[in-house]
Chain A
């Protein structure tokens, strides 16, 4: 009985030979029960072999085909992006991996590299993650350990609502509403900690909001529901016996969390954060709206502007009119695809290995 499906399917196919051996009622009622059995065009030649119905074969073929389709689809995404990127990569007059240029206006003199895009993408994503991770952990603990069960569900729904707000609205709110409000904070950080490269003046500066500082905060708000959802689920699976054991030993609430919930849920929390990172790397429109481009090179400051992979593509793609220039952006998109693929695969690997199954 290890596999109910397998046992079920052999019963479902209804081996008439075995049935006949049973002290069963006459076959007439059985025919009445399974009217679906088509007036078999191909009578079973060997009564002891299981009969696979045509409907079954069709349906399982469809289902299996759909499953295989998903696998093929991911391969196709990589393959087609690569096919479209190759011509542009061949005509690239700059080094694709190390160049900071992205000049695609003249298809006869393409000069593009992903170095700066990669820098901006990674910095804004990591920065958003640093902001969102502790808050996400706190929310997950609050919803699973602190909030009374009756209000935990509606409160969790509120956090999930953050994920339902379209990212374009987040982006517009970030640049038009949030940025002016947090400007004093940005200026203060720049004035007092400007000697740290992270808070240096940057190529956009703390006075304008269209920098990584604003973008990261908005991105962090968008990551919260992702990080919280999975972390919450893992935390809620902490064995009750462990929690009660710790309580019985006289632990305070926080000590209970430290000794049972956190060790139990650490892998889930880490992988949830990785999934959040994957989301941050690929976030498009909020960053397109917030970040402004700059002629100066990206220097690593939070008050720099610039473009991520996704926002660069979104900004420029619609105006392209030749395949070679488009290929340059598709090449950048391919790198983004591989990046998110790697991050997501790693996250799944951690969650599959590290999370104890309840």
Chain B
């Protein structure tokens, strides 16, 4: 029985800690580098785009007339003029869209969270709605525009107008509002609802007076972010309204400019003035979107529920 008996003083197991083999270290190092590099790659287009827009668009934007005049009567190659007509169009079209999309979106979210049931008790309609909101999120903006064209212009026979653009933007904004509102309503603690029910407050008043105020901060942020998102949409304005170089306050008739539309129109203008208008509009659009993002951030701070 002398075979394979280890010496009495040898440790029964190999030492637990061994240094990591070079191959594993190298692989780990490569992975770390690749992961960091991919983040840096993402920063390249972001910084490059913003720098381009700033460098090429700053000069026209700094001229006060840019904000106060339209391009009415100016030739393609003429410098000067401004884009307040397009700023008005962008703001008006997207704000009208927001006014329609927000209540509908909030009601859909309320339905999904408060009435649709949860877990196994989720109703059929609730499941279908969740699915369709997901699908609506993925509907290309050009398809939304074609749908409005088919209904509003082909079938109802109404003219192309800024309001038709707003309707298409509603389709694009609503699912975003639903999603963000839904997330916010979900994190309202059930204790609050139950406390309210226990006091005999009806469900709808509980939602209006307890649930929504609690979630309001996040809801507003989501809505303003959704609004910022639709401002740059170009496909609907291409199809549903014609460009005008002058101001038009009427949403329901006539041509109306908007910043994205102005940029696509000026694309065919090869002069320096055209380039100024394109990049100036791009910078203006980014500025407006940034302002709305800042508003969203401020709203979420201001309306946050007071906690002790």
Q: At the interface with chain A, which of B61-69, B75-83, B259-267?
A: B259-267
Asked if B251 CB lies within 8 Å of chain A CBs, one says no
Asked if B249 CB lies within 8 Å of chain A CBs, one says no
A64 touches B111 (CB 8 A): yes
Could you tell me which residues of chain B, from 161 to 206, have a CB within 8 Å of some CB in chain A? Answer: 171, 174, 178, 190, 193-194, 196-206
Q: At the interface with chain A, which of B6-14, B136-144, B298-306?
A: B136-144
Instruction: Kindly list chain B residues whose C-beta atoms are within 8 Å of the C-beta of A12.
Output: 196-197, 200-203, 206
A34 touches B293 (CB 8 A): no
Instruction: Kindly list chain B residues whose C-beta atoms are within 8 Å of the C-beta of A337.
Output: 139-140, 143
Asked if B2 CB lies within 8 Å of chain A CBs, one says no
Asked if B272 CB lies within 8 Å of chain A CBs, one says no
A177 touches B115 (CB 8 A): no
Instruction: Report the bound CA distance from A337 to B41 in whole Å.
Output: 32
Instruction: Kindly list chain B residues whose C-beta atoms are within 8 Å of the C-beta of A55.
Output: 202, 204-205
B118 touches A3 (CB 8 A): yes
Interface size class of A (residues with CB under 8 A): 35 or more
Instruction: Kindly list chain B residues whose C-beta atoms are within 8 Å of the C-beta of A142.
Output: 35-36, 38-39
Partner of A71, one of B31, B45, B125: B125
Instruction: Report the bound CA distance from A64 to B242 in whole Å.
Output: 37
**Which of A56, A81, A252, A330 has the most chain B CB atoms inside 10 A of its CB?**
A252
Closest to B34 in A: A138
What does the 1/0 interface line of B123-160 toward A look like (CB < 8 Å)? Answer: 00110110111111111111110110111001100000
Closest to B283 in A: A169
Asked if B250 CB lies within 8 Å of chain A CBs, one says no
A11 touches B238 (CB 8 A): no
**B contacts with A: majority SS:** helix
Instruction: Report the bound CA distance from A36 to B1 in whole Å.
Output: 93
Partner of A167, one of B25, B112, B120, B232: B232
A-B pairs with beta carbons under 8 Å apart, 18 shown: A2-B121, A8-B206, A34-B199, A56-B202, A56-B203, A70-B174, A84-B150, A138-B37, A139-B38, A139-B39, A142-B36, A165-B49, A170-B45, A257-B31, A282-B138, A289-B267, A340-B138, A344-B138
Closest 9 CB pairs of A and B: A166-B232, A282-B140, A138-B38, A59-B204, A63-B111, A66-B107, A344-B138, A254-B31, A221-B45
* Chain A residues within 8 Å of B, Cβ to Cβ: 2-9, 11-14, 30, 33-34, 36-37, 53, 55-56, 58-60, 62-71, 73-74, 76-77, 80-81, 83-84, 134-139, 141-143, 145-147, 155, 158-159, 161-170, 172-173, 177-178, 218, 221, 224, 228, 250, 252-255, 257, 275, 278-279, 281-285, 288-289, 309-310, 313-314, 317-318, 323, 326, 329-330, 333, 336-337, 340-341, 343-345, 348
* Chain B residues within 8 Å of A, Cβ to Cβ: 20, 24-25, 27-28, 31-32, 34-39, 41-43, 45-46, 48-50, 52-53, 104, 107-108, 110-112, 114-121, 125-126, 128-129, 131-144, 146-147, 149-151, 154-155, 171, 174, 178, 190, 193-194, 196-208, 228-229, 231-235, 238-239, 242, 260, 263-264, 267, 278-279, 282, 285-286, 289, 293
